[in-house]
Amino acid sequence: MYHTGIEAPQGIWWKPVHKSEKIWVSIAFAWCMVLFAMMPLWHLRGGQNPSGIRHRVDANAYRARVAEFIAQYQVGSDRGMPVVAPPPGSDVYLQAQMWSWLPVLKLEEGAEYVLHLSSVDVNHGFSLFPLNVNFQVVPGYDYGLRVRPTAAGEFEILCNEFCGVGHHLMVGKIIVTPAAAAGAPASAEGARSEPQASGVHQ
Ligand code: CUA
């Protein structure tokens, strides 16, 4: 026996759909619509979008800008790496390259900065330990994030994008000093107990 497609198939397929199947299809369809609506909704309301300003940048131009930034605000050095303390409100530059983060940044708790991230060679990943902050660092793009450190301390920058044999050695540092003035607004209610919420803010 073979089937031609012209004759009606055998069985009882023409009987009305069972009620439970109708319910199931309705639920599945409604859920599909919910998930579909979540996509634009989360984009607008999810608070997940980086506060980024993106520009194309030439690797050499970025390298020069980082060098200028270091020369301007260097306050010391840490194992051969310059330590840079830019004033609150300023533009801060971090350069990723195989296999280091340049320079060590010294920021003030509660102050706002624009943190520029770019790579001068391959893709790297910026993740701030132990906070839940993750960004791609892409050559050719200057990614400016508006950040406000909400907890004082030392934070490690770990590379989370495989970038060659020295990938696991690619560790940088951000030092956050406690808010300078006594009774400064940011120090009263620290985000110390809530690491996920701190780090990068809109
Ligand atoms: Cu840079 Cu991995």
pLDDT in tens, 158-178: 999 999 999 999 999 999 999
Tell me what percent of the residues of the chain surpass a pLDDT of 70: 84
For residue 148 and ligand 1, the question of a CB distance below 6 A is answered with: no
- How many residues in the chain? 202
Q: Which residue has the higher pLDDT, 62 or 48?
A: 62
Q: Which residues are registered as beta bridge partners of 156?
A: 129, 173
Amino acid code (one letter) for 182: A
Nearest Cα neighbor of 57 from 94, 4, 85 is 94
Q: Whose CA is nearest to atom 1 of ligand 1?
A: 124
Residue 181 pLDDT > 90, yes or no? no
Record the tokens describing residue 158, joined without a space. Answer: 């770990």
The pTM score is 0.67
Q: Would the CB of 159 count as within 6 Å of ligand 1?
A: yes
Q: Is the pLDDT of residue 75 over 90?
A: yes
Model confidence at 183, in pLDDT bands (50, 70, 90)?
very low
